[in-house]
Amino acid sequence: MTGLRARTRDVVRAQLAAVAIELFAEHGYDATTVDDIAAAAGVSKRSFFRYFPAKDDVVFHGVDELADQMAAEIGTAEGDDWDVLREVMTRWQEQVFASGQTLELVESSPSLRARMVDKRDELRRKVSEALRKRAGSDLDEFTADLLTCAAGAVLDAAAQEWLRVGGDRADLIRHGFEELAPGGRRLLA
C-alpha cells in the first residue's frame, strides 16, 4: 500500500507543479497566490501545503531527487572524470533543464533566481563529492570542485543559448564540454 500511496503523492505533486507553472506563465510568479494554484488544481490551500512547503518549491519540484540520482550515477561510472561528467550531464539534460517556460519564469523573478542558485550549488556539491568518492579517484576537493563548476558552466551556457536561439540541448552540452576539454584534461594530468 505504501508504494501506491507514494506513487499517488508523486502524481498529485506533478499535477500541482504543472498547474502552478501554467498560472505563473499566465499571471506572473508574484501575482499568483497559493490560493490561485489550489483553486485551479481543485485542492484546498491546506492540501497544497501538504505537497509543497512553500510556493517556490513547486517551481523546483524534483530537483533534489535529480541531484541525488546524478551524483549516484557519477559515483559509480567508470572512466575519466571529465568524460564521466560529460556523459552523465548529456544523458540527464532533459531532466536537468526545465522547460523553456520554467527557465524564463525563473529568470523573471529575483527570488526564484536566488533559489535556483541555491539548488545549483547543492547539485554541484553533490556532484563534486561523488567525483571524489569514485573508485580509484585521487581528486582533491579543489580539483573536484573546479571540474564540477566547469561542467556546471557548460550547463548554464547551454541553457542560455537554448533559450536564446533554440537547438538541440544535448548538442549544446557536448559542444560546451568539447570546448572546455583541454582545460578539464589539464586538471586531471
CATH number of the domain that 23 lies in? 1.10.10.60
Dump pLDDT digits (tens) for 129-163: 999 999 888 899 999 999 999 999 998 899 889 88
Give the number of other CB atoms < 10 A from CB of residue 2: 6
Dump pLDDT digits (tens) for 77-95: 998 898 999 999 888 877 7
Pairwise CA distance, residues 127 & 151, whole Å: 10
Name residues whose C-beta falls within 8 Å of residue 10's C-beta, 6 or more positions apart in sequence: none
For the entire predicted model, the pTM comes to 0.79
| Domain, as residue range, for 154 | 62-180
Residue 9 lies in a domain: yes
Specify whether 43 is located in the same domain as 107.
no
Q: Which of 131, 123, 114, 181 is nearest to 154 (CA)?
A: 181
Specify whether 147 is located in the same domain as 176.
yes
Amino acid at the residue 171? D
Number of structural domains in the chain: 2
Name residues whose C-beta falls within 8 Å of residue 28's C-beta, 6 or more positions apart in sequence: 108
Specify whether 89 is located in the same domain as 123.
yes
